[in-house]
Amino acid sequence: MGTLLQLSLRQLAGRRRLLLLIISLAALPVVVAAILTGLVSDGGSYRSSFINGLLDGMIVAGVLPIVTMTLATAAFGHELEDHTLGYLVLNPIPRWWIVLAKFLASVLVAGPLLIASGVATILLGLDLDWQTAATVAASLLVGVVTYSAIFTWAGLMTTRALSFALVYVFLWEGVTTTFLGGVRYLSVRGYTLALLHGFDGEVFDTLGSRAIELPAALVGAGVVTFLFFWLTVRRLRRMDVA
Amino acid sequence: MTDREAASAAIPTIQASGVSKWFGDVVAVNDVSLQAYPGITGLLGPNGAGKTTLLHLLSGLAGPSQGVVSVLGEPPRNNPNLYQRVGIMSEHEAVYGFQTGRQFVELAARLHQLTPLSPPVDRAIEAVGMAEAQNRVLDDYSRGMKQRMRLAASLVHDPEVLLLDEPLNGTDPRQRIEFQGLLQQLAKEGRTILISTHILEEVETLTDSILLMINGRLAAAGDFRTIRAKLDDRPYTVRIRCADPRSMASALVRLEEVESVSFDPDGSLVVLNRNASSFQLSVPRLAQKHGIRLFGVEPLDDSLESVYSYLVEA
């Protein structure tokens, strides 16, 4: 298992252009927060706009899914593209080990990067304490884990996983969940916002109108993660490896 | 009892019964039944014959659309434990280029959960003659060197069965001889080796036992020389279109290998002959000798033609 994880991490880390892209994306909200801090004075409406615009609009709805999508679809995508998946499946190891290694590699690369981005943005823009930072970190981590499960599956399902993921992120997570309240129960963005609001309702009270209940979000994220992990293992067992 | 007879009496290590594989409308492997025994068996056929798909089915990388496959008495599909006893080298030459050759073989050893790690890795690398270059990065290897390291990775767990898809691709003549020597040594140790290639001479030096695939079907199986001799003896029908069918027909009937000549309503000749190789040479010579313009020579038994020309012309 450790061997597979090490290999998967090395594969992701070896893609310099991909790393540069996700680091740039993760740095974007931090840069915007730094600029806003210099330009706009603190106040009630500022905090609300910051949370709605930068935390939800840019990080949770944009950077979080895009960075995770880029890494998680590549986890299996590159093996399929390079025709190296055979080296993994032609071994006496359970298929779920392979899936777990790919999934964990995405979480281990995307997680710290997005948490650092989210925490730095919040600390810079709102000058909050470390407890709030921990809330942001935990919520983003749940988002990373759930998205990683979905996009790892997508990477194994199709060679056009990135296109599929982009459509999913913008249509489902972006447009649909904004206009259809019930869909938030089936949305990773909805889970992440619910965790932010559920863990710290005072600071993130502005998210209240869009957040589902905390237990529902925790259960939803768990179910989606498990379901897509299982679907990925099933796919790996059934697919023809070229 | 000869070695071959002893092998025939044994239980086949690799077996396929009525196996087909199709992708949409394309039939890649069509109703193939085969057995392979300890020793080397060559899986021969032109590019696109279905060899790789068949090896994928035998290795469990793909599932058959129809039929049954077994390796060492077990189904290879979704049976990871079987890979403790089977080594596979696929046709894709891709490797993890950032690894050194040794790390690549070590990866295979770790995934086979071999402990201690070093002795089998050293042995496999030594066997393919790559000890000196083992610490170089795979991206810096030549194609032949990569192939040797890939073979080392498939040998590291000392498998009983080896499925090798075009393993000699990219190797130079010296490497090829070494490769062949190694495979012969492995076969002598009692392993079953199924090696696919589209180059007849690659297998001819290794074994007489071949499986010949043409257009997704198993066209012939057994001893290479016997197959070739049988094909020479089989009647073979050809349609000939030429400017002067009557003169051509009278010239053809004088040939020893020609059994009959008939006229088709469209003016072409249908010739039944018993020796395709000499017939193929005789037709243009006759046409030239009698000043007859040839428009076309078309085999009426496509599969046989393919098998024949493959074996004769290779």
- CA-based nearest distance A241→chain B, Å: 5
Tens of pLDDT, residue by residue over A90-133, are 999 999 999 999 999 999 999 999 999 999 998 888 877 888 88
CA angle A82, A18, A186 (to 5 degrees): 95
The structure tokens listed for A201 are 């309702």
Q: Are B14 and B71 in contact (CB under 8 A)?
A: yes
**B250-278: buried (b, 16+ CB within 10 Å) or exposed (e) per residue?**
ebbeebebbeebeeeeeebbebebbbbbe
Q: Residue B27: is it exposed, middle or buried by C-beta count within 10 angstroms (0-12/13-18/19+)?
A: middle
On average, the pLDDT of chain A sits at 88
Last residue of a domain, one of B229, B260, B293: B229
pLDDT the model gives residue B105: 96
- For residue B283 the two structure tokens come to 């037709």
Q: Where is pLDDT greater, at B82 or A48?
A: B82
Asked if residue B222 and residue B105 are part of one domain, the reply reads yes
- Answer with the one of B229, B262, B289 that is the final residue of a domain: B229
Is the domain of B115 the same as that of B218? yes
How far is the C-alpha of A99 from the C-alpha of A102, rounded, in Å?
5
Last residue of a domain, one of B189, B208, B229: B229
Instruction: Say yes or no: B256 and B220 in one domain.
Output: no
Task: Please indicate, yes or no, whether residues B239 and B220 belong to a single structural domain of this protein.
Answer: no
Percent of chain B that is helix, strand, coil (3-state, to 5):
40, 30, 35
Range of the domain at B255: 234-313
Residues B210 and B262 occupy one common structural domain = no
**Which residues on B lie below 8 Å from A234 (Cβ)?**
none
The average pLDDT across B298-313 equals 58
Query: In total, how many domains does chain B have?
Result: 2
ipTM of this model?
A: 0.82
- Closest Cβ opposite residue B59 in set A3, A90, A95: A90
Same domain, B108 and B73: yes
**Cβ neighbours for B54, distance < 8 A, ≥ 6 positions apart:** B16, B19, B21, B29, B32, B43, B196, B213
Same domain, B7 and B133: yes
How far B123 CA lies from chain A's nearest CA (Å)?
19
Q: What CA–CA distance (Å, rounded) separates B101 from B94?
A: 13
What is the 8-class DSSP label of residue B115?
Answer: S
Looking at the structure, do residues B133 and B267 belong to the same domain, yes or no? no
Search chain A and give the residue with CA nearest B55: A242
- Record: contact B96-A86, CB cut-off 8 A: no
Size of interface A-B (CB pairs under 8 A): 65
- Quickly count: other Cβ atoms within 10 Å of residue B187's Cβ: 19
DSSP state of B26: E
Q: Residue A193 above 60 pLDDT?
A: yes
What pLDDT digit, counting tens, does each position of A29-72 carry?
A: 999 988 887 777 666 677 778 787 888 888 998 899 999 999 99
Nearest CA in chain B to A95: B80
Place of tokens 């930072």: A133
Same-domain check for residues B122 and B107: yes
Cα–Cα distance for residue pair B138/B145, rounded to 1 Å: 9
Whether B191 and B257 share a structural domain: no
Which residue has tokens 């040939």? B255
Coil, helix or strand for A242?
coil
Which chain A residues are within 8 Å of B82, Cβ to Cβ? 92
CATH of the domain at B138: 3.40.50.300
- Per-residue pLDDT, A14: 80
**How high is the pLDDT of residue A129?**
80
Q: Kindly indicate the confidence band of residue B275, based on its pLDDT and cuts at 50, 70 and 90.
A: confident
pLDDT at A209 over 60: yes
Interface test with A, best of B53, B61, B117 (most A CBs within 10 A): B61
Whether residues B189 and B267 fall in one domain? no
Cβ burial, residue A172 (10 Å; 0-12/13-18/19+): middle
Q: Has residue B8 got a pLDDT over 50?
A: no
Residues B97-107: tens digit of each pLDDT? 899 999 999 99
Name the band, by pLDDT with cuts 50, 70 and 90, for residue B309: low
pLDDT of residue B281: 81
The per-residue DSSP string of A194-228 comes to HHHHHH-TTTTGGGTTT---HHHHHHHHHHHHHHH
Most B CBs within 10 Å, among A8, A91, A239, to test the B interface: A91
Query: What span, in angstroms and rounded, lies between the C-alpha atoms of B184 and B106?
Result: 25
Q: Are A58 and A64 in contact (CB under 8 A)?
A: no
The Cα–Cα gap between B126 and A53 comes to 62
Separation between Cα atoms, residue A88 and residue A6, nearest integer Å: 13
Q: What is the mean pLDDT of residues B54-83?
A: 94
CA–CA distance from A18 to each of A4, A74, A93, A147, A160 (Å)?
Answer: 20, 9, 29, 18, 16
- Statement to judge: residues B196 and B303 lie in one domain: no
Q: Which residues of A touch B137 (CB under 8 A)?
A: none
Phi and psi torsions of B87, nearest 5°: -115, 135
- CATH number of the domain encompassing residue B242: 3.30.70.100
- d(CA B275, CA B75) in angstroms, rounded, equals 42
Give the residue, A38 or B291, on which the prediction is more confident: B291
Task: Find tokens 């390796």 and name the residue.
Answer: B71
Summarised one tens digit per residue, pLDDT across range B150-205 is 999 999 999 999 999 988 887 777 888 888 888 999 999 999 999 998 777 777 77
Determine whether the interchain pair B90/A3 forms a contact, defined as Cβ–Cβ distance below 8 Å. Answer: no
**pLDDT, position B1:** 40
Tokens representing B79?
């049976």
Give chain B's mean pLDDT: 86
| Residues B125/A17, Cβ–Cβ less than 8 Å | no
Whether residue B58 contacts residue B213, with contact meaning beta carbons closer than 8 Å, is answered with no
